Amino acid sequence: MTMQSEELQPEEFGQAAQAVIAALQGQGPAEAAAAMADAGLFGICADEAQGGLGLPLVFAMPVVRVAGQMQLSYPLPEQIAASKALQGTEAGGQLLRGEKSLCVVMAAQAAGDWSGVARNGQQADYVLVQSDAGCALYDKAALRCQAEEMLDPEVPQLWVSTTGATPLLTLDAPQSQVFCADIQLLWAEYVNGLCAGALDRTADYLQARVQFGRPLSAKQAVRHHLARMRLLLEASSAQAWRALHPDEWGNPRQADSALAAALNQGAWVLEKAIHLHGGMGFTWELGLHRSLREHKKLDACLGVGAVMRKLGADFMDRCEVTQ
């Protein structure tokens, strides 16, 4: 970007996104995409020559965190990462302008003929599928798809099979590696946003709910739960932000470890938020279930177990090399 990045603050982008997302209430996916595209949310990391802002990923992190806090079901992390990875292509321009939307299928959850499952894939026009060879972009209309409503009947997941389909374009190995790192960090901070929103609502409720003349937040056991929720959230978010910067040897840090931490610790935070609300925590009207469902859908698409196993395998490979 021509403007020095130090003149901008990532937090300002989060504040701007909050106003945009708040205005999306009651709008359909197409209207929401147009509004977010007009606000420049999709093109934060895309080059200026392609109509983006040309900023580093650090400026997109507060945006996806706010999306999580406000329970935005639209696949905003996928749209931001893909608009950058596909810039200069027709599909990339359509994503950047909000004319088309995209979902992502990761190879970890492939099963039989199915290439994997996409979070909130029914509203997407394109599918970006990861494989051992890299990433390939498909027109969703050309794929065999099956909705999975078990976790979320309102915005279901989508099983996708690419058998017999021809990709519109492919990303080579280095491009795919960059895209995967970007989307993993954005997903991680989106999950942290889900947890932050649930924690804020829980703290407000426990402070306002009075029993026997004292707010529930005055009870030591309740405070212990809140403190642990905050501890896990801050540790997970710090790991995601740390992964944006190279290590002491100048090598990129692992993004998948930040995502694994967010998914693993986020499950406890969200479930505890529902627990601390008592019986009303499980009600449809309260809405905390939406944050938990978004978390579970993302976990189902990626598989925290698969991510942890890959981390362990990579660690053992590095140990063998250094010995």
Distance CA 294, CA 46 (A): 26
The domain segmentation of the chain, as residue ranges, is: 1-99, 101-171, 175-318
Q: What is the mean pLDDT of residues 132-136?
A: 88
pLDDT value of residue 6: 60
| Average pLDDT value for the chain | 90
Model confidence at 7: pLDDT above 90: no
Strands 126-131 and 116-118: unpaired
pTM: 0.91
User: 237-262 burial, b for 16+ CB within 10 Å, e for fewer?
Assistant: bebbbebbeeeeeeeeebbbbbbbbb
What confidence tier does 305 reach under pLDDT thresholds 50, 70, 90?
low
Question: Which fold is adopted by the domain 175-318?
Answer: Butyryl-CoA Dehydrogenase, subunit A; domain 3 (1.20.140)
Classify domain 1-99 at the CATH class level. Answer: mainly alpha
What confidence tier does 1 reach under pLDDT thresholds 50, 70, 90?
very low
Distance CA 117, CA 126 (A): 14
pLDDT digits (tens, 9 = 90+) for 80-120: 999 999 999 999 999 999 999 999 998 766 677 888 889 88
pLDDT value of residue 314: 66
Say if residue 108 is exposed, middle or buried (CB neighbours under 10 Å; 0-12, 13-18, 19+).
middle
Model confidence at 37: pLDDT above 60: yes
Q: Is the dihedral of CA 307, 300, 241, 196 positive or negative?
A: negative
Portion of the chain with pLDDT greater than 70, in percent: 91
pLDDT value of residue 3: 44
Portion of the chain with pLDDT greater than 90, in percent: 69
pLDDT digits (tens, 9 = 90+) for 262-279: 999 999 999 999 999 998
Distance CA 283, CA 175 (A): 44
pLDDT value of residue 311: 62
What confidence tier does 25 reach under pLDDT thresholds 50, 70, 90?
confident
Distance CA 55, CA 58 (A): 8
Q: What 3-state DSSP class applies to 160?
A: strand
Say if residue 320 is exposed, middle or buried (CB neighbours under 10 Å; 0-12, 13-18, 19+).
exposed
pLDDT value of residue 4: 44
Model confidence at 221: pLDDT above 60: yes
